[in-house]
């Protein structure tokens, strides 16, 4: 008998679990959250460390999940983060464990998280300019992010990937400097197309900086070569940057103009215990109610499987009937 998996009816199997640990954030990136913040999830609705740990255990030991990425909101704001990581690291088979973070405060936490079992981090950084950083995020924390990056490297949380969103008229001239910065420091640079997931619903296709534009900028300054490695379910399409030691790569996550839904291997758990089978799903499956109602591990696993079975073939962003999900990126877990 084969073991159960998180399969869908289109032949995809989810092995990569994104766990949102909070919907709160200490930045207010213009494409994500309004300057005044959002109504946060009420504390009783948020899964406890114990509840998150149990659901991760079910995903890994019963449903074939091999990779767990902690996100949010800002996951470093979750007091129990190191304990949650340690519990996941003790599972057998041990999943790979990573964190998507803005790195604010990581300078003080990197060694502790590494010791708890965290394997690596993805750090979001849209600009090399402290002034632009304040303009984009509404917070003067650029130096904290750089300190976090340095600490992550020192703690061995690599390979470190930098995720950048380019915004027209603000930082769309930074593709080349950001890649140079990453190459100099041994980070892997990735650019993300802006997606219709902002709380204010102000995303517009014409304002989005596209993969083609990003690649055109990069090709003006670097020689990019096809990456011979299998892409698999990875959201980033990658290229080798010629002429630099160690065959570094640069990636573009082009969810809008080059969708990769056919190979998607992701499943998502929100901070309030809802399974989402897609970033853009309009429906969720409530694991929290079942868990708090005394559901068994078998029942929780079965509900998770049913949620994934209903995954649509694509996110539909490019279809006329597309409707943005009601929850913004910060509440889903990016």
Which positions lie near ligand SAM, rule CB under 6 A? 25, 29, 31-32, 71-72, 74, 100-102, 124, 163, 165, 192, 194-195, 197-198, 329-330, 334
3-state secondary structure at position 77: helix
- Given a contact cutoff of 8 angstroms between Cβ atoms, the answer to whether 145 and 125 are in contact is yes
Shortest Å distance, C-beta 24 to ligand SAM: 9
Q: Which single residue is written with the structure tokens 């213009």?
A: 30
Q: Residue 325: which residues within 8 A CB-CB, separation 6 or more?
A: 197, 279, 280, 281, 282, 332
CB of 307 to ligand SAM, least distance (A): 21
- Whose Cβ is closer to ligand SAM: residue 23's or residue 284's? 23
Q: Which is nearer to ligand SAM, 163 or 270 (CB)?
A: 163
What is the end-to-end Cα distance of the chain in Å, rounded? 35
Please state the closest distance from residue 332 (CB atom) to ligand SAM, in A: 8
How many whole angstroms separate alpha carbon 328 and alpha carbon 334?
A: 9
CB of 334 to ligand SAM, least distance (A): 3
Q: Could you tell me the smallest distance in angstroms from the CB atom of residue 303 to ligand SAM?
A: 25
Distance in Å, CB of 19 to ligand SAM, minimum = 11
Pick 74 or 284: Cβ nearer ligand SAM: 74
Question: What DSSP state is assigned to residue 182?
Answer: H
Decide the pairing of beta strands 249-253 and 161-165: unpaired
Query: Which is nearer to ligand SAM, 91 or 192 (by Cβ)?
Result: 192
d(CA 103, CA 12): 32
> What six digits make up the tokens of 56?
């991760």
Angle between helices 175-185 and 211-219 (to 10 degrees): 70
- CB-based contacts of 86: which residues, under 8 Å, 6+ apart? 116, 117
Nearer to ligand SAM, 163 or 305 (CB): 163
User: SS3 for 58?
Assistant: helix
Nearest residue (CB) to ligand SAM, 71 versus 305: 71
CB of 71 to ligand SAM, least distance (A): 5
Please identify, using beta-carbon distances, which residue of 173 and 298 lies nearer to ligand SAM: 173
């Amino acid at each position: 008998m084969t073991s159960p998996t998180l399969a869908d009816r289109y032949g995809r199997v989810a092995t990569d679990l994104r766990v949102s640990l909070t919907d709160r954030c200490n930045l207010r990136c213009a494409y994500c959250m309004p300057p005044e913040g959002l109504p946060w999830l009420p504390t009783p609705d948020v899964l406890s460390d114990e509840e998150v740990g149990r659901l991760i255990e079910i995903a890994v030991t019963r449903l074939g999940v091999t990779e767990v990425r902690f996100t949010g909101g800002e996951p470093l704001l979750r007091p129990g983060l190191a304990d949650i990581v340690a519990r996941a690291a003790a599972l057998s088979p041990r999943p790979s464990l990573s964190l998507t973070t803005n790195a604010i405060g990581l300078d003080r936490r990197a060694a502790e998280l590494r010791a708890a079992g965290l394997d690596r981090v993805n750090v979001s950084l849209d600009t090399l300019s402290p002034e632009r950083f304040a303009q984009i995020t509404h917070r003067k924390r650029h130096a904290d992010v750089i300190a976090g990056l340095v600490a992550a490297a020192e703690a061995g949380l690599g390979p470190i990937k930098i995720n950048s969103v380019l915004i027209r008229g603000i930082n769309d001239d930074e593709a080349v400097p950001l890649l140079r910065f990453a190459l100099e420091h041994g980070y892997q640079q990735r650019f993300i197309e802006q997606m219709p997931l902002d709380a204010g619903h102000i995303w517009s296709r014409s304002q989005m900086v596209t993969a083609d534009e990003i690649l055109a900028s990069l090709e003006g300054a670097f020689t990019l070569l096809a990456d011979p490695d299998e892409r698999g379910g990875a959201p980033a399409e990658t290229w080798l940057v010629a002429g630099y030691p160690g065959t570094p790569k640069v990636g573009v996550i082009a969810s809008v103009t080059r969708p990769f839904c056919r190979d998607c291997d992701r499943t998502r758990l929100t901070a309030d215990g809802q399974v989402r089978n897609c970033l853009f799903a309009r429906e969720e499956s409530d694991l929290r109610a079942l868990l708090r109602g005394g559901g068994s591990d078998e029942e929780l696993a079965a509900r998770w499987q049913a949620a994934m079975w209903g995954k649509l073939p694509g996110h539909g962003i490019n279809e006329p009937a597309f409707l943005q999900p009601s929850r913004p990126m910060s509440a889903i877990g990016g």
